[in-house]
Structure 1
Amino acid sequence: MTANARVVAAKAARLRAGGRPRVLDLFSGCGGLSLGFEAAGCDIAAAVEFDPDAARSHGMNFHGGHARHCVARDITATAPQALTSELGLGAADAAFDVLVGGPPCQAFARVGRSKLREVAEHPEAFRHDPRARLYIEYLRYVDACAPLAVVIENVPDMLNHGGHNLAAEIGETLALRGYVVRYTLLNAAFYGVPQMRERMILVAIRTEVAEDVDLPEPTHWIDLPSGYLGSRAVALKLAQTRGVDPCVRYVAAPEPARALPRAVTAEEAIGDLPELRAQEMLAAGTLRRGARRFDVAIPWGGHNRQSPYVRLMRGWAGHEGGPSVDDHVIRYLPRDYRIFAGLKPGDQYPEAHRYALALLGEELNRLAADGQPVADGSPELAALRAAFVPPYDDGKFPNKWRKMEADAPARTLLAHLGKDGYSHIHYDDVQARPISVREAARLQSFPDGFRFSGTMNPAFRQIGNAVPPLLAKAVAAVLVPQLRGRRTGDSEMPLFAFGGRR
């Protein structure tokens, strides 16, 4: 038996004896994957994350803020053994059972199957290729840490990126290392997340441990909008149920049954949070320009409606919420609050632009009636237009704005929330504003006790980049029993139970 085989056998024996899987999260962000795997009974042993705010968030939530775990680390400059030595975890090949992460898609783009294979076999030859460097480092961790399982999350385009099925190509390099690999597309709304977020999930398990890979069954159902179905069809053009390597296969995602509870809606997810009436706050001077810090505790209001999902978010074991919320902060957008108030659910930027022009027309009529007409082409008209109408071309930016529907899950949250937030305008006309940091966290299924390092913009970016913890938990809950040598129709640890609308 080789040294690697002995390490794998020892890890498998420990888990079969009841040991908790130890997880290393690469490209961890603030910890969406980590949180899901923790909830499924795993120990989050370490993480590697380049962004300082995200690294601090991960350390705060999983390691009590210990300084060693809050350090931002560049994977290209952090060898596996150096990481485990620094964290007091011993030998790299014995420290972890599961490696998870979402490497940037650019790490694999346009490298191609033949080059990926060559990198896998002769990594030093391409160490200075920026397209392959992060991929090399990811493989270096797989080789050094000998995990029983590898889980990779990424965008659906990973299956059809520049004419390459990168998931299959990555899977083939993992198969060379002794893994059976399955990949699929999962929509977070089918797993209790109040967001229609489509993601590629790849799971690889050592062949000594399992002959196949289980995927989670949906817990909720919704008829996805046509746009999601169209994007999925494009992503799947290159997916094949059988690939070049029999150990690597695309598996169609399990379809949700209509007998399941309906998907969690935006209102069920955030309707209990204290109201922030933007126009009133602006008039009162309590909403001003400047950095949004998390230093004001807002107590729960009188409309404190608690759906089953809200109770889960407030009571998540180890990350429970408190009597108030301190990251319920929003953007300062004085021109746009009145526009938000007049939009209908589902309206996007063309509708917003037309409504803004109507508001401008009303103001011009009012001024004319008061004996203060504004001349065409005048500086006064230009200034008034700038005060009422956003400057973007409504033909070029149709998706820049969108008002959420209360009775449906939110559309996909992106890291771009860290720049403007117009993609998720609150459904409540009275509040008339973009969503807050805590509302974004709720829609991504981060519990109320989960803390984000930094100010508003970095927090939005961390949330938008994250894997929804409930989706991660669904994947982990079926993976953990397999690592213990069992194939189960039901997961060892049940998914959070909530919902019930039919």
Structure 2
Amino acid sequence: MEPCSDSCTIRKFLLTYRQERQSEARSGKKAVDLFAGAGGLSAGFKQAGFDIQFAVDKSESATDTYRLNHPELPHENVHTGDINDVVEEGILTELAEDTDVVIGGPPCQALSIAGYRSRLANDEDYTLLEDSRTTLYQQYIAAIEQLNPEIIVMENVEGMICEVGDSELKVSEMVLDGLDEAGYNAKLRLLDCSEFGLPQNRDRVIVFGVNREADVETSPGALFSALYDNRTEETTIRQALAGLPRLERGEGGKIMIGANRGRRSEYVSCAGISVPSHFTYNHRARSHPKPKDRKLFDEVMEPGMDSADVVYGTDRGDLIDYDIGTEDNPRFTDKYRMLDWEEPSPTIVAHLQKDANGFILPDYHRYYTHSSKESKPERNRGLTPREAARIQSFPDDFIFLGAFTDWFQQIGNAVPPLIGQFVGKVLADELRQESSETAETPIYRPRISTDD
């Protein structure tokens, strides 16, 4: 039997392949990923030329996924557990000498709008200031004080720059103050990820911090300027999902046998999404068993419509069985929402693990090709995990482990690899200039056409 080559689609499952990868000499600046999740930010930084040395996250299913998809890292270098324990045990001090950059996104559910309103609905006395996740950034700062990198990158939700309740406090100000005390000049910006070719409207806060004692002449402002130079045209859902098998409700599974067919868009072909393979992973559609939901998807909703449009724009408001507020002041309108093939997706969120009614993908043939012969109402259904992963810019061979709900949680919580690649390129080029290296890191820049 011949050994598994680089084109072998199952190579990352093989111990021999993983041992070979781990024994290879690796170049590139060294990075540590804190609150790494499934490894989206690491994947982007790896594409930008970084060598990831260590990663930590509390979720077992997420670190299982991380290990599988980063075969170059030894098992023990992906730590499952509380970052406080990692700091207290001094594990990071052993990496300090070789760490150039620290990246990561402290869990943000407490600060996200969706997360906040969900907890408030269950507990009217809930406050952000009493939620321990609001101050997870302190653990991040404690870790970088041990690692002492030249540059740090933090990613978080838009809620980070908003006032915490009526306290007049902003987590963003606390983060910047903490980084200043740790010896870093830091700035933050709210990034519209769709401006960098990501096929979704995803606003995220990015923090750059530069160590004042490091031999690095750049500044956070200069890094943001270089990052914004890479802005490009938006990508649509149709371009993001090009080539994937089109499933009906209840179809698909963990693994589907057979290569993807159809024309690939430039996003899929050039952003590292499409990978030659005889398998499609994590591509399973929900069955949507409730008759009223199927009636909504098949007979009432059109692309771009949400719950408020159904209640106030049709005569079938009876199918929306919860209080959406008034026409002038609606709320929870995204609980039911049909996507539009020709627009970017709304923000992919971890709530998809509970249901996908806010991410209903309309039948492609009915709403895009307008082919009545090929259209089927059974194709009106929620996004699959693989489709959500495509919209998050994960490669097709990035396999998510755990239960079906875990897949969605890992995908929704992840930093999109494409955004990690853009940020990583900026840092890699800057650090390369400081070390007098001349090679530039290549990066995907889409040239979107209406034919993609």
Question: What TM-score range do you get, normalising by the shorter chain?
Answer: 0.7 to 0.9
Letter in 1 for 2:162: N
Match of 1:41, SS state, is coil
- Per the alignment, residue 390 of structure 2 pairs with 442
Gaps of 5+ in 2: 1-25, 113-129, 326-330, 367-375
Provide the C-alpha distance between the structure 2 equivalents of 1:265 and 1:51, rounded to a whole number of angstroms.
31
Matched, 1:210 2:217: yes
Q: 1:173 to 1:358 in 2, by over 3 A?
A: closer
Find the partner of 1:94 among 80, 87, 97: 97
Letter in 2 for 1:92: L
- Per the alignment, residue 335 of structure 2 pairs with 400
1:98-109 map, 5 Å: 98-105=101-108
Letter in 2 for 1:297: I
Q: Deviations over 1:472-491 (max 9, x none)?
A: 11111111222234599x99
Q: 1:306 to 1:495 in 2, by over 3 A?
A: same
Indicate if the aligned counterparts of 1:52 and 1:71 stay in contact, CA closer than 8 A. Answer: no
Q: 1:180 to 1:352 in 2, by over 3 A?
A: same
Q: 1:325 to 1:466 in 2, by over 3 A?
A: same
Provide the C-alpha distance between the structure 2 equivalents of 1:255 and 1:184, rounded to a whole number of angstroms.
15
Q: Deviations over 1:426-465 (max 9, x none)?
A: 1325310001111000001111111111122111111111
Q: 1:359 to 1:172 in 2, by over 3 A?
A: closer
- Per the alignment, residue 263 of structure 2 pairs with 305
- Per the alignment, residue 344 of structure 2 pairs with 409
Task: Please state how far the C-alpha of 1:58 moved relative to its aligned partner.
Answer: 1.0
Gaps of 5+ in 1: 1-17, 85-89, 110-127, 220-252, 282-286, 361-388
Equivalences, count: 380
- Per the alignment, residue 197 of structure 2 pairs with 192
Q: 1:129 to 1:423 in 2, by over 3 A?
A: closer
Q: Deviations over 1:243-295 (max 9, x none)?
A: xxxxxxxxxx6795xxx5x31110011032111122xx6xxxxx5xxxx8514
Find the partner of 1:433 among 381, 390, 395: 381
Task: Please state how far the C-alpha of 1:20 moved relative to its aligned partner.
Answer: 1.3
Structure (1 or 2) with the larger CA radius of gyration: 1
Greater CA drift, 28-37 or 128-137: 128-137
Indicate if the aligned counterparts of 1:441 and 1:463 stay in contact, CA closer than 8 A. Answer: yes
Match of 1:328, SS state, is strand
Q: Deviations over 1:315-367 (max 9, x none)?
A: 66xxx34123131101221222342233211111234568997599xxxxxxx
Letter in 2 for 1:341: D
Q: 1:134 to 1:66 in 2, by over 3 A?
A: same
Greater CA drift, 41-50 or 60-69: 60-69
- Which structure shows the bigger proportion of residues in strand conformation? 2
Indicate if the aligned counterparts of 1:56 and 1:71 stay in contact, CA closer than 8 A. Answer: no
Letter in 2 for 1:184: R
1:346-361 map, 5 Å: 346-352=304-310, 358=316
Greater CA drift, 335-344 or 144-153: 335-344
Match of 1:478, SS state, is helix
Task: Please state how far the C-alpha of 1:106 moved relative to its aligned partner.
Answer: 7.6
Q: What's the TM-score once normalised by structure 1's chain length?
A: 0.68
Find the partner of 2:427 among 464, 468, 479: 479
Provide the C-alpha distance between the structure 2 equivalents of 1:340 and 1:482, rounded to a whole number of angstroms.
49
Matched, 1:422 2:357: yes
Provide the C-alpha distance between the structure 1 equivalents of 2:352 and 2:149, rounded to a whole number of angstroms.
34
1:362-377 map, 5 Å: none
Letter in 2 for 1:156: E
- Per the alignment, residue 243 of structure 2 pairs with 272
- Per the alignment, residue 47 of structure 1 pairs with 55
- Per the alignment, residue 180 of structure 1 pairs with 185
Provide the C-alpha distance between the structure 2 equivalents of 1:216 and 1:206, rounded to a whole number of angstroms.
16
- Per the alignment, residue 287 of structure 2 pairs with 332
Letter in 1 for 2:257: A
Q: Deviations over 1:178-219 (max 9, x none)?
A: 322121111111111111100100011123312413345699
Provide the C-alpha distance between the structure 1 equivalents of 2:38 and 2:100, rounded to a whole number of angstroms.
21
Q: What's the TM-score once normalised by structure 2's chain length?
A: 0.75
Indicate if the aligned counterparts of 1:184 and 1:202 stay in contact, CA closer than 8 A. Answer: yes
Match of 2:360, SS state, is coil
Percent identity, aligned pairs only?
A: 30
Letter in 1 for 2:304: G
Matched, 1:161 2:163: yes
Task: Please state how far the C-alpha of 1:164 moved relative to its aligned partner.
Answer: 2.7
Match of 1:484, SS state, is helix
